Amino acid sequence: MKSIMFIAPPAAGKGTQAEIIANKYNIPHISTGNILREIAKENTEIGNYIYETMSNGDLVKDEITYKLIENRLSLKDCKNGYIIDGFPRNLEQAIKYDEILKKVDLELGYVFALNIDKKELEKRVIGRRICENCNTTYNINEEHEMPRIESICDICGGNLYQRKDDNLDAFEARYKNYLEQTTDIIKYYEEKNILYHINGNASVEKIAQEIDSIISKEGKKNDND
Ligand code: AMP
C-alpha cells in the first residue's frame, strides 16, 4: 500500500486518525513529534535541546529531524506502507523529503490535509491528555474522548499527562508557524495531484471513513489494473 501523509494544524486530530489507519492496515505510524518527545525525556545535550525547543513551540533543527526520518524510513516495516505525521512541516522539508525517499527507495503516497477551525483547535489543545505509557490520546473537553477515570488510561492504566506545548501561548506560536509554512507545501502536493482536502471539523469516525474510502478506492483501482 502507498504511504500516507497528514498535513494538519496542531491538535487537529491527525494523531488519532493516523492510529486508526495504522491499526486497520497494520502499517507503522511515524510521528516526528512522538520520536522527538521520546528523545526529549533523555537528560543529554540533544535531549535538553529538544525539550526546550518543543516547549516553546519552535521547530527542531532540520539536521536532527532529517537524520531521524531517514533512519526510521530505512527500517523494513516501511516497505509495505507507513503513515508519516508531523513531517514535512514546510516546503524546504518537503523537498528534502523527496530526496530522503529516493535514498531509501520509497515513494510519495497520499497526502491528506485536515482543515479545521481555530476555535475548535484551541478547545482541543487545552483538553488534550496523553498516556505516558502507550501514547493513547484523550480529550477531557470532548464527551466521546474522555478517559473513564480521570488521569488514567482506559487501555493500559498508565498516567495521563498534558503536553508541555499544549497551552494557548505555545499553541499561538505553533499555529502561526503552521499557517505560514503550509500554504506552500499544500500547493506543492496539489501540483503533484496527490493531495486530498478533508473536513477536520467532522467527528473522528466520519473523518476516518472519508480517508478510508479514498484509500480503499485507490486499492480497488490498482487491483483492476
Ligand atoms: P507535533 O507532535 O507534530 O505537534 O510536534 C510537536 C513538536 O515537535 C513541534 O512543535 C516541534 O517542536 C517538534 N517537531 C515535530 N515535527 C517536526 C518537524 N518536522 N520539524 C521540526 N520540528 C518538529
- 224/46 Cα distance (integer angstroms): 49
The whole-number pLDDT of residue 220 equals 59
Q: Is 163 labeled as catalytic in the residue annotation?
A: yes
For the CA of 165, the nearest atom of ligand 1: 10
Query: Looking at the DSSP assignment, which residues form a beta bridge with residue 138?
Result: 129
Percent composition of the chain: helix, strand, coil (DSSP 3-state, to 5): 55, 15, 30
* Ligand 1 atom 11: residue of nearest CA: 59
Q: What is the pLDDT of residues 120-164, one digit of tens each?
A: 999 999 999 999 999 889 999 888 889 999 999 999 999 999 998
Q: Which residue type sits at 197?
A: H
Would the CB of 137 count as within 6 Å of ligand 1? no
* Ligand 1 atom 12: residue of nearest CA: 54
Choose the residue to mutate in 30, 38, 54, 73 for probing ligand 1, maximizing ligand atoms within 8 Å of C-beta.
54
Highest mean pLDDT among 4-13, 71-80, 200-209: 71-80
- 174/56 Cα distance (integer angstroms): 9
CA of 224 to the centre of ligand 1 (A): 39
> Scanning the structure block, which residue is given the C-alpha cell 501540483?
191
Average pLDDT over residues 22-37: 94
CA of 88 to the centre of ligand 1 (A): 10
Average pLDDT, the chain: 92
* Ligand 1 atom 15: residue of nearest CA: 33
57 Cβ neighbours under 8 A, 6+ residues apart:
165, 169, 170, 171, 172, 173, 174, 177
The whole-number pLDDT of residue 104 equals 96
Read off the pTM. Answer: 0.83
> Scanning the structure block, which residue is given the C-alpha cell 527500517?
75
Average pLDDT over residues 2-9: 94
For the CA of 34, the nearest atom of ligand 1: 2
* Ligand 1 atom 19: residue of nearest CA: 87
Q: Which residue type sits at 15?
A: G
- 168/180 Cα distance (integer angstroms): 18
pLDDT band at 219 (very low <50, low <70, confident <90, very high): low
53 versus 143: which is more confidently predicted?
A: 53
3-state secondary structure at position 151: coil
110 pLDDT more than 70: yes
Q: Which residue type sits at 107?
A: E
Question: Other C-beta atoms within 10 Å of 11: how many?
Answer: 25
218 pLDDT more than 70: no
177 versus 153: which is more confidently predicted?
A: 153
112 pLDDT more than 70: yes
Query: Looking at the DSSP assignment, which residues form a beta bridge with residue 115?
Result: 199
Q: What is the pLDDT of residues 60-97, one digit of tens each?
A: 999 999 999 999 999 999 999 999 999 999 999 999 99
For the CA of 50, the nearest atom of ligand 1: 12
Would the CB of 182 count as within 6 Å of ligand 1? no
The whole-number pLDDT of residue 131 equals 95
Would the CB of 86 count as within 6 Å of ligand 1? yes
198 pLDDT more than 90: yes
Catalytic residue among 72, 96, 129, 174: 174
For the CA of 32, the nearest atom of ligand 1: 16
25 pLDDT more than 80: yes
